[in-house]
Amino acid sequence: MKLLRYSTFIIAALLILGACSRTKDIFTARTYHRMVSKYNILFNGEQALLKARTQLKKQHVDDYDDFLSIYREGTEETISGVKPDLEKSLEKGSKTIQNHSMLIDGKQKNNYIDDAYLLMGKAHYFKQDYAAALETFNYVIQKFRDAEIRAEAELWAAKTETGMENFIPAKARFEKLYSNTSLARHLNADVFASFAHLEFVQGHYEEAYQLLIQAAEKTEDKELEVRWLYICGQLLAKQGQDYEASQMFDRVIRKGPPYDLLFNAQLNQARNYDIELMDPSKAYDDLEKMLRDEKNYDNRDQIYYVMAEVAQKLGEELDRDDYLNKSIRVSTQNDKQKGLSYLWLAEIRFDDKEYEKSQAYYDSCYQFLPKNHPKYAQVAMFKKSLGRLVANLQTIALQDSLQALASLSDADQLKAINEIIDRVKEADEEALRAKEREMDQLAFNSGTNNGSGIGGLAGVGNANQSFYFYNPSIRSSGVSSFVAKWGNRKLEDNWRRKDKSVILEDPTNTEAGANGEGATGEKELDPRYDPQTYLAQIPNDSAAMDTSHSLIQMALLDNAILYKEDIKDLLAASESVLELLQRYPDYQDRARAWYLLYRIYLLKEDEANSTKYKNLILSTYPKSEYAYLILNEGKDVKDVDESEAKRAYAAAYQDYESKRYRQALSAAKTGFEAYEDSRYGARFLLLTAYCEAGLRKMEELRTSLEEVLKRFPRTPESAEAQKILNAMGQDAKAEGDEKSAKKTATYRSDFSSQHRYVLLVPNGKVSANQVQINLSDFNSKYFPNNRLLVKSILMGTEWQVVMVSGLANQKQAQEYYRTLNSEKALEKLLISVDFKQFVISNANFTDFYKNQDIKGYQAFFDENYK
């Protein structure tokens, strides 16, 4: 008995050992390896791939403002989350091949090995490792005989070629599959859809449509069918086939798709109504019905936007604008849609040349449009450009008004200002009433839309829904009301206040006192209601009046540049420059204004006027940079060897440092002639001036320095040349009295006039331009509504003066000074610089600058301001 059991054990062991062999073509071996491949290792690998694909599909987010993707195969971000599963698929496929391949006499006896290779190829494909995927699929096509397996590998190879943007070989593979009459039925829909994807990514929308509609008809996956039909509707709409697109979206609707697809199909059906073949009132009726559907409550902004599109088709511009404004008002959570509605209104006003209204819409659009939107950069540009334009227009209007007030008596000034304040109050009250009416309308709409009583809180259907937070529609209405009043506020302490650094007493707070007074007993007064706010800005002396005129001049010139460069309104650009020249016939930078007009008229192809201003520049300012630009227009730029120019300059400069001035001068002139158009041209010309200074050729020196300014404006070399010219002028002025003490001015104690902040930095120790940039950034952040102007000038040869003008009075100037220093806006830039800073009235600045009285004014400042 023991012998029999022992013999049975030996036989079973021998059978198992025989089955494990991968080199013996016997039944037990083939059965074992096939069974283990399919039901163990390969099964686990396929499940891992299925899990990864399911996860990618779930994480896919459809953007209904763009074409839907034919397949949901993931992005770089989502793929990283499923890499472990893809790696597992690769591991299982590789293990199947290594442990269970039965390649005997050149023939594969395990018919699941080709499936293992396909599994690995697909895993590589979804990892977007296209090179490895293509290599794997090509191996299957070349090495295996099964027609179905080879066709599937060909399909995935074609998809991979598409992913690699190898469009020609991809199309050849698809055409081969397309013409294969014996193609397995389960591959048909995938072949047509993948072929459609290839045509789509190349922009061949007609071909993509023809293929995708066939894919939708062939697929047995109902979810894919309705998705592909929706994309077919998008493709028809893209080709301008409105009627056909509308019918296709109707077909999608009849399929009963998920909510998002259904809602967008309904929108697109209305959006694509052909107004010549169909009744547009039907489109409006369908959209009105969508508005009444409670499920669409938070999507009403999109519905109104499509109604605006229908109105646009019908030429109903007033209705279009009304629907867009409704889209904005009812928006509850879709910032992108709100941004798009603002954007369309901005573009409409821009096209109508209503730039101030357009700027307001662009500003709002910028707040809501996502940063990754294709039009975000354009919106940011127009927000900035139109913002400058509107600020300039406001500056011109303000300064004109202030100058008019300056010509009145004190009594008449006060009377006019009180009239302004009354208008401001009236406008504020009307805005408040309009907001209250809007809030009431929102509450009414909430009630009527939900079949409830006032505010939508009564009679909602059951006890639970009568409580505000249990009713989603009423809750959404509350969100709408909140956003309409407060905007999109972050959930945080003190959310009501935009600026959380300063706490003002609430005048309605009974705890603040019977008269709305704070702890200090002082009642907060809106500066716009305070006559002193306006009186302080009136230019009552010559210095302030000069500043006012300067602000108007800069605003007019800047607007001309904006109209020409950014807004592309050449008529408005020319009108702005002409207004500048008409108002200020003695404008000191006329050459620049004339050159701007010359360029504008060239673009307008107005030969008579372009010639007029060209001749004015050449005859009046023949040595200016503008004359140089005109005379050198159209000339070919010579190819310059920068390395040769550098060596020549180094040699010339070495002669100069060795005080061989004549030799250096000759080399500098030769270098300038040879390398004028290189980046060393300005250096050679400035070196010429240095050499002439060394040789005491003062007239030639001045001429060379002026040539640097003319030929190379706004360069470090021109800045150096200007510095030397300023020093020469100062020396000439001080000749014979170099050691005389500067006069000490007597400063006025009237602090109600306009002020400026002044920073004095040693010349050449720090970049004045960088200081200006830092101050401009500071102004934009802390004083955005004060229209402050930053500029710099030289004071003698020692000091660079950087100024911020436009501070209304002493109080505002002191606040500016304190804030600037407490925020340490210039600390890093000036950390190793001996600088001076103070605030000063415009009237006192004239005396200070004239006498360069740093010590005297510093004492006055310490006594009266600190």
pLDDT at 483: 54
Q: Residue 561: enclosing H or E segment and its boundaries?
A: helix 542-562
Q: What is the pLDDT of residues 73-112, one digit of tens each?
A: 888 888 888 889 999 889 887 887 777 665 666 676 567 7
pLDDT at 362: 94
pLDDT at 747: 82
User: What is the average pLDDT across 356-370?
Assistant: 93
- Residues 118, 80 contacting (CB under 8 angstroms): no
User: What is the average pLDDT across 626-652?
Assistant: 76
The answer to whether residue 479 scores a pLDDT higher than 80 is no
- Show me where the domains of the chain are located: 1-128, 542-631, 642-733, 755-864
Q: What is the 3-state secondary structure (H, E, C) of 150-178?
A: HHHHHHHHHHHHHHCCCHHHHHHHHHHHH
**What DSSP string describes 176-233?**
HHHT-TT--HHHHHHHHHHHHHHHHHTT-HHHHHHHHHHHHHH---HHHHHHHHHHHH
Higher-pLDDT residue of 639 and 53 is 53
Output the CA–CA distances (angstroms, integers) from residue 615 to 593, 609, 627, 662, in the order listed.
13, 10, 9, 39
- Residues 637, 664: Cα–Cα separation, whole Å: 27
What CATH code would you report for 755-864? 3.30.70
Q: Count each helix (H run) and each strand (E run) in the chain, helices first.
A: 37, 6
Assess whether the region 542-631 and the region 755-864 belong to the same CATH fold.
no
Higher-pLDDT residue of 586 and 519 is 586
The CATH superfamily assigned to 642-733 is: Tetratricopeptide repeat domain (1.25.40.10)
User: What is the average pLDDT across 839-849?
Assistant: 84
Model confidence at 486, pLDDT cuts 50, 70, 90, reads: low
Q: What percent of the chain has pLDDT over 70?
A: 81
Higher-pLDDT residue of 596 and 93 is 596
Tokens read off for 582: 């008409």
Q: What is the pLDDT of residues 226-252, one digit of tens each?
A: 999 999 999 999 999 989 999 999 999
10 Å Cβ neighbour count for 350? Answer: 19
Sheet holding 755-762, edge to edge: 789-795, 799-807, 755-762, 836-841
- Residues 25, 101: Cα–Cα separation, whole Å: 12
For the chain, the straight-line distance linking the first and the last C-alpha, in angstroms and rounded, comes to 116
Rg over alpha carbons for the chain, rounded to the nearest Å, is 39
Specify whether domain 542-631 bears CATH 1.10.1200.
Answer: no
Mean pLDDT, rounded, of the chain: 81
pLDDT at 252: 94
Model confidence at 115, pLDDT cuts 50, 70, 90, reads: confident
- Residues 221, 540: Cα–Cα separation, whole Å: 81
- Residues 210, 216: Cα–Cα separation, whole Å: 10
pLDDT at 24: 61
10 Å Cβ neighbour count for 181? Answer: 4
pLDDT at 495: 54
Q: What percent of the chain has pLDDT over 90?
A: 39
Half-sphere exposure of 742 (CA within 13 A, CB side): 15
pLDDT at 186: 87
Dihedral sign for Cα 201, 207, 213, 216, please: negative
| Burial (Cβ within 10 Å: 0-12, 13-18, ≥19) of residue 154 | buried
**Eight-class DSSP state of 40:** I
Q: What is the pLDDT of residues 525-582, one digit of tens each?
A: 778 888 888 888 889 888 889 889 999 999 999 999 999 999 999 999 999 999 999 9
- Residues 555, 563: Cα–Cα separation, whole Å: 12
Cα 317 to its chain centre, rounded Å, is 29
10 Å Cβ neighbour count for 781? Answer: 11
pLDDT at 26: 65
Angle subtended at Cα 11 by Cα 8 and Cα 15, rounded to the nearest 5 degrees? 135
Model confidence at 124, pLDDT cuts 50, 70, 90, reads: very high
- Residues 842, 751: Cα–Cα separation, whole Å: 10
The answer to whether residue 413 scores a pLDDT higher than 60 is yes
pLDDT at 522: 47
Output the CA–CA distances (angstroms, integers) from residue 234 to 258, 269, 272, 315, 575, in the order listed.
18, 10, 10, 23, 45
Output the CA–CA distances (angstroms, integers) from residue 397 to 555, 557, 567, 635, in the order listed.
10, 15, 21, 43
Phi-psi region of 462 (alpha: psi -120 to 50; beta: other; left: phi over 0): beta
User: What is the average pLDDT across 753-779?
Assistant: 84
Q: What is the pLDDT of residues 732-751, one digit of tens each?
A: 544 444 444 444 567 887 77
Half-sphere exposure of 861 (CA within 13 A, CB side): 22
pLDDT at 635: 62
